[in-house]
Structure 1
Amino acid sequence: MEHRGSLVRRGALWRIAAGQRGYFTAAQAVESGYSYQSQRYHAHRGNWVSVDRGLYRLPEFSDLPTEGDEQLVRWWLWSKGRAVISHASALAAHDLGTANPSRIHLTVPRGFRQKSETVILHRAELRAADVEHRQGYRLTTPIRALVESAADGYDQDVLEGAVAEALERGMVTRRGLLHAAQLLGSRAELGVERALGAAS
């Protein structure tokens, strides 16, 4: 019979991981009562899947049908909760247009130091109004994702399709888009104006 303390630890870890598509950090495991030594044991035994340094996943979640955004949870945790999924990655998460970036776009605070070849980091301080919360990660709102993609010079055809869809679905207004683009500068304005012209 499993020791009560171990059941309590497992329950605490499960509650954290369940809200993060099965992922959890080493720090979260420590909070749940697992020492670093016991973490190595569980990873070695295959009880946990080691995803990256200090990042694990419960194997039960790997067998569940995916919802398409598991990778976003993984990179949000990699950033220790400091990153926001943004730009073309946020467009894809909002299912706007045909954006399918080969690397994950993250907006991080200016002092952020972590690096990975799998991600593209954009440094900015986002307003609370520009950020949406999903289960296990945060991402920029549809309007912010559109204008920051325009400011980044993202593929104009993809941007035009995304803007047309956002307008059609009532996620943004023309006036709101133009105003948001003005805040990010002339490149964002030009891209958005062209996209709105194409959507006329």
Structure 2
Amino acid sequence: MLRDRTDSRAALWRTAAGQRGYFTAAQALEAGYSYQAQRYHAQHGNWLVIDRALYRFREFSDLPGEGDEQLVRWSLWSRGRAAVSHATALAVHDLGTANPSRIHLTVPRGFRQKSDAVILHRAELVDSDVEDRAGYRVTVPSRAIAECAADGDDQDVIDGAVAEALEQGVVTRRKLLYAAQSLGARAELGVERALGALS
């Protein structure tokens, strides 16, 4: 069934609006844009080409950003299989002083894509490990802290994140210890040290 151009744009716009203006070639195809039409819009500057088969409506690039637009982009790059994690998740939750130079993503073990712009961690996350944001998923604060401890991140970063998370009431000591135990001895040690520093 052929769609009217305005219907196609409206359908794609609705999808992109929930993803900060980003959309994939597959989503454009589903909205009614053939690959030839997609090429036309990209070549004429109607759509910004972000990556292979990844676009953004030009109008969204003119809006003031909330700082996490890149995370939506990487979620789409992973076809929704990645969750923002580790130090990047701490930054999303505004806990501590984590300021990673590259984006940390946790992906399933069989994930094959690669990029120098991201650091990939492989793990099978359960629903309680993640929360949904506008256009991407992120590990919950207790998991993010435990991930950083398991990776041997700077203890000062972990101490600050634990202190702020407890102060804000977004985690409990029990949840932190449970998350750390699930990631191993190194995570437990880092979290226990951070909790000990509060005494």
Task: State whether TM-score is above 0.5.
Answer: yes
- In structure 1, the partner of 2:156 is 157
Deviation string 1:111-143 (CA, Å, 9 cap, x unpaired) is 100000000110000111011001100010011
Equivalent position amino acid for 1:53 in 2: R
Corresponding position: 1:143 with 2:142: yes
Deviation string 1:49-99 (CA, Å, 9 cap, x unpaired) is 000001000010011111011010000000000001100111000011111
Query: How do 1:1-200 and structure 2 match up within 5 A?
Result: 5-200=4-199
Mind listing any 5+ residue stretches in structure 1 that lack a counterpart?
Answer: none
Deviation of the 1:144 alpha carbon: 0.6
Deviation of the 1:194 alpha carbon: 0.8
| Distance in 2 between residues matched to 1:117 and 1:155, nearest whole Å | 22
| Distance in 2 between residues matched to 1:183 and 1:9, nearest whole Å | 46
Percentage of pairs with the same residue: 76
| Distance in 1 between residues matched to 2:106 and 2:58, nearest whole Å | 29
CA RMSD of aligned residues (A): 0.9
Q: Matched residue of 1:153: which SS?
A: coil
| Distance in 1 between residues matched to 2:161 and 2:145, nearest whole Å | 7
Deviation of the 1:199 alpha carbon: 2.0
Equivalent position amino acid for 1:29 in 2: A
| Distance in 2 between residues matched to 1:195 and 1:57, nearest whole Å | 41
Equivalent position amino acid for 1:51 in 2: I
Deviation of the 1:178 alpha carbon: 1.2
Equivalent position amino acid for 2:15 in 1: I
| Distance in 2 between residues matched to 1:197 and 1:60, nearest whole Å | 49
| Distance in 1 between residues matched to 2:26 and 2:121, nearest whole Å | 25
Deviation of the 1:174 alpha carbon: 1.1
| Distance in 1 between residues matched to 2:36 and 2:154, nearest whole Å | 47
| Distance in 1 between residues matched to 2:130 and 2:74, nearest whole Å | 16
Q: Moved runs in structure 1, 4+ residues, more than 3 A?
A: none
Equivalent position amino acid for 1:98 in 2: T
